[in-house]
Amino acid sequence: MTGAGMSVESGLSTFRGGGGLWDEYPVEAVATPEGYSANPGLVLEFYNKRRRELAGIKPNKGHELLASLEKSYDVTVVTQNVDNLHERAGSTKVIHLHGELMKACSSRQPNNLEYVKSFSSPLDEINVGDLAADGSQLRPYIVWFGEAVPLMNDAIAAIRDIDAFVIIGTSLNVYPAAGLLNYVPYGVPVYLIDPNEVQVNGVRDVVHIRRGASEGVQHLIDNFLGEGK
Residue 229, domain member (yes or no): no
Residue 89, domain member (yes or no): yes
Please count the structural domains in the chain. 1
pTM exceeds cut of 0.75: yes
- Concerning whether 63 is annotated as a catalytic residue, the answer is no
- The residue from 63, 86, 96, 98 that is catalytic is 98
Residue 228, domain member (yes or no): no
Q: What values do phi and psi take at 105, rounded to 5?
A: -145, 180
The pLDDT of residue 173: 77
Residue 127, domain member (yes or no): yes
The pLDDT of residue 24: 65
Residue 120, domain member (yes or no): yes
The pLDDT of residue 202: 65
In the chain (229 residues long), the average pLDDT of successive 10-residue segments reads 93 59 72 95 94 93 97 96 97 97 97 96 97 97 94 95 93 82 91 87 81 96 71
Residues 31-81 pLDDT 10s = 999 999 999 999 999 999 999 999 989 999 999 999 999 999 999 999 999
Cα–Cα distances (Å) from 56 to 53, 89, 122, 173, in that order, read 6, 15, 9, 29
Residue 92, domain member (yes or no): yes
d(CA 222, CA 28) in angstroms, rounded, equals 42
Q: What values do phi and psi take at 218, rounded to 5?
A: -60, -40
Query: What is the domain extent for residue 51?
Result: 4-223
Q: Is 41 exposed, middle or buried (0-12, 13-18, 19+ CB in 10 A)?
A: exposed
The pLDDT of residue 18: 47
The pLDDT of residue 229: 38
Full DSSP string of 164-227: -EEEES--S-STTGGGGGGGSPTTS-EEEE-SS-----SS---EEE-S-HHHHHHHHHHHTS--
Residue 184, domain member (yes or no): yes
In this structure, the dihedral spanned by the alpha carbons of residues 213, 172, 152 and 69, taken in order and rounded to 10 degrees, is: 20
- Domain of 133, CATH number, reads 3.40.50.1220
Residue 191, domain member (yes or no): yes
Residue 81 region by backbone torsions, left for phi larger than 0, else alpha for psi between -120 and 50, else beta = beta
d(CA 183, CA 164) in angstroms, rounded, equals 12
The pLDDT of residue 22: 46
